[in-house]
Chain A
């Protein structure tokens, strides 16, 4: 079993829809949680970065972390065709011995149709 599980999709929604993307994980030592967006043949672009549990909002994007359930989510409001991409969740441990290496999910491919 992988440390981080993410449904690869594809997920197809109409323009303007609310999108929900999710990841589950097994390692309770993870403390930092990130969402990256990756367009085809490009490098991952950091969207959201959260520490421990709670919510964080940035424009149309909201990240949620539920450490008790080992479950993280990314919500996209008023989705646009330009949001069509692969969304990667990533996480890492905390502590002075931590190297900062990230463990990624498989990525979810999102298509927003005009």
Chain B
């Protein structure tokens, strides 16, 4: 069965600093992996996804993530944090093994705080 672990429930960075949010996955089949962002009182917005093409995936707002099979990781990075990046971030893996629903299995989330 697929699962996702996000390391660090809270991450704090200064404005302009590198953002690194960690995600490790477990999957018995080649995974599809996703990062979503959630602003307060809003739904989920897709930042980027990996679906077995290039291992370095570029998303919106200068976010990117690298799929590393050997480390079963899919960490999210951004070179320079903006105040507007403060939000909750979720890593998710697609459940491709059962019933072909493509349902998403989410991690617990990481709250990103950006300090001026």
Q: Do A and B actually bind?
A: no
Binding site for B on A (CB under 8 A): none
